[in-house]
Amino acid sequence: QVQLVESGGGLVQAGGSLRLSCAASGLTFSKYVMGWFHQAPGKEREFVAAISWSGGGAYYADSMKGRFIISRDIAKNTGYLQMNSLKPEDTAVYYCAVNGRVPLRFGVTESEYDYWGQGTQVTVSS
């Protein structure tokens, strides 16, 4: 049974940083893409970033480039989203997700991911 557990969310002032973690377990395939999405109140879930688990290549939404960094620790089966220079508009629930479909691609829509975590709240105060 695949399980993704996010952690690291919280309350931070504008300009601050947070690092989110996504601990993965139960994955039976060795190659997959881990993505991060966020969903603000009343809005649709939006793509933030994705990383190829085996190769380490990453892809970012344009609005996140330069501020957010996605990474992974293969030994710990954990993905990370380092968020810097946070803005109030970054306030949202952040979800990690996994896509193991072949051929692998950096999916940017919810439907391209098969497994999801429960989300972690990030609140940025002005």
Whether pLDDT at 30 is above 90: no
CA nearest to 121, candidates 28, 27, 7 = 7
DSSP per residue, 45-97: -EEEEEEETTT--EEE-GGGTTTEEEEEETTTTEEEEEE-S--GGG-EEEEEE
Are the beta carbons of 122 and 39 closer than 8 angstroms? no
Q: Which tens digits make up the pLDDT trace of 108-120?
A: 999 999 999 999 9
Give yes or no for residue 105 having a pLDDT over 90: no
pLDDT of 100: 85
pLDDT in tens, 47-77: 999 999 988 899 999 989 899 999 999 999 9
Q: Backbone phi, then psi, for 16, in 5-degree steps?
A: -85, -175
Mean pLDDT of 18-31: 92
Give the mean pLDDT of 79-100.
96
Which residue has tokens 């996605």?
70
Indicate if the pLDDT at residue 83 is higher than 90: yes
